[in-house]
Amino acid sequence: MNMIQAINSALDVMMERDPDVVVMGEDVGYFGGVFRATAGLQKKYGKNRVFDTPITECGIIGVAVGMGAYGLRPVPEIQFADYIYPALDQLVSEAARLRYRSAGEFIAPMTVRSPFGGGIFGGQTHSQSPEGIFTHVSGIKTVIPATPYDAKGLLIAAIEDNDPTIFFEPKRIYNGPFDGHYDRPSRNWGGHPDAQVPQGYYRIPLGKARIARAGEALTILCYGTMVHVVASTVAEMGIDAEIIDLRTLVPLDIEAIEASVKKTGHCLIVHEATRTSGFGAELSALVQERCFYHLEAPIERVTGFDTPYPHSLEWAYFPGPIRIRDAITKILKD
C-alpha cells in the first residue's frame, strides 16, 4: 500500500469494528477527499457515517467535540493543515480541556486528520507544518507517520485513544518516499519494506519511536518526510548515524532519544517547520537537560526558515540534503 491506501484501510477497519466511528470533512464523502484518502467509505458505510461538511473548520471541530462528548469517535479531516487555524479555539479551549474541565465525566475521543508539509509547490497556503503549535497544548496528542505501515497502525491507535489527537500526514510522501533530491525521478512505495501493510487490524502504540537506522556516530531526530531525506543523505555520506523516527511528538519517546544520544554523543534535529519555537527547540532542550555530559559537540538543528513557505524558492526553504550534509559535517568535525 502507499500511505493514502494505508490511511483508507485504517479508517475502513475501524469503521467496521466500531459503529461509533464517523468520518467527516470537506469533500470526504462522494468525492473521497482531495487526496482520495476516504474514497469508497461513504458508499460502504452510508452518508450518516461518512459525510461532507461546509467549509468551516471551526464548525467541523466544534461538532466533533460534541460528538465525542456524546459517545461517538469522530475522525474529522481538515483538507490542508494550513486551514486548521480557524479551528484552534475549538481544539485548544474545548477538545483539549474537556476531560480536565469535567473531572473526567466527558472526553473528546476525536482524531483530526490533515495533510501537512511542503515539497509539492503548494506555496504558503498549502505547505505549512504547524505541529509545534499543538505540542504546546496540554491535552492534545500529536502523531506524524513516516511510512504506510506506521500510518495505518498509528491511525488505528489514535482513533481508539480517548484523548483528542492531531494526525498530520506528510503529503509529500503519500505516494512514495522522498530522498530530498527534487531533480531526480520520483519513486513510489512499490517494493519498499515499510509498504507491506496488513489488510486487517493492528495498532502501533502512541509514544513509541522507531529506530529507522541503527548507528554509533551520530543521533538524528526527525519525523515525517524528513526521515527519508535524512536516511538518503546519511547513506550518500557513508555516515554511521542512528536515525530515530519519532512517530509521535506528544507523547514523546524520550527514553529512546536519551539512550541513543548517550550512545553516540552527537545529536542533529531535522524538521520542515519554521525554526523559532519549532518542535526541534523542545527536543534540543530535552537532550541538553538529559544528555549534557555525554555530548561531544553542540546540538544542531536543520529546519525551515522563519518566513512564509515560498513558492518560487521551495527547495531553498526545504531542509534538503545539502543543509543536512553541512550540519552533519559540522557536528562530527566539532
Q: What DSSP string runs through 108-148?
A: ---EEEEEE--SSS--TTS----HHHHHTSTT-EEE---SH
Between helix 321-333 and helix 225-237 the angle, nearest 10°, is 60
Nearest to 154 by CA among 278, 249, 265: 249
DSSP for 308-327, please give it. Answer: ---STTHHHHS--HHHHHHH
Residue of 126, 228, 266, 271 marked catalytic:
126
Q: Is 266 tagged catalytic?
A: no
Strands (E), 182-325: 210-213, 218-222, 241-245, 248-250, 267-274, 300-304
Cell numbers placing 246: 519519532
What 3-state class would DSSP assign to 304? strand
Amino acid at 101: R
Residue 188: exposure state from Cβ atoms within 10 A (0-12, 13-18, ≥19): exposed
Q: Report how far residue 231's alpha carbon sits from residue 321's, in angstroms, rounded to the nearest whole number.
A: 10
User: How far apart are the C-alpha atoms of 150 and 177, rounded to whole Å?
Assistant: 13
Q: What are phi and psi of 169, to 5 degrees?
A: -110, 120
Q: Which residues are catalytic?
A: 126
